[in-house]
Amino acid sequence: MTCEHPEFRAQVGVGRLSQVEGGPITHYTAEIAIKCVACGEPFQFLGLPMGSNAYGAATSVDALELRAAIKPQNGPEPPPGLPGFSVKVTTPPGAMQ
Ligand SMILES: [Zn+2]
């Protein structure tokens, strides 16, 4: 019997980032994961690049964790210069038949 996924649990972590070690906090990130309470199956986030982006949203490589840049409603935009990364999916030679 397949689960109809009637109820969910979200796990949310918030990261505080500074541009230099020990420096002032300039960036915040939310890390969100969602599972079905009934069967435990994790849900994937769709339509986003894989990686990390201090100025936008991305997912973990398995797409099970949303990593989104956030800021206080009345706070300033985060200053530029914090590096991120993205993962490019490539197909090994011979894998496509
Ligand atoms: Zn379920």
Rounded distance from Cα 83 to ligand 1 centre (Å) = 37
Q: How far is the CA of 25 from the centre of ligand 1 (A)?
A: 38
Instruction: For the chain, give every domain's residue range.
Output: 8-73
- The per-residue pLDDT for 83 is 77
When computed from its CA atoms, the radius of gyration of the chain, rounded to whole angstroms, is 17
**What pLDDT is recorded for position 50?**
93
Q: What span, in angstroms and rounded, lies between the C-alpha atoms of 14 and 30?
A: 5
DSSP string, 24-77: -EEEEEEEEEEEETTT--B----SS-BEE-TTSEEE-TTS-SEEEEE--TTSPP
Model confidence, pTM: 0.80
CA of residue 43 to ligand 1 center, whole Å: 10
Distance from the CA of 37 to the center of ligand 1, in angstroms? 6
pLDDT at 97 over 60: no
**Distance between CA 80 and CA 26 in Å, rounded?**
10
CA of 68 relative to ligand 1 center, distance in Å: 25
Q: What is the pLDDT of residues 38-87, one digit of tens each?
A: 999 999 999 999 998 989 999 999 999 999 999 999 999 998 888 777 77
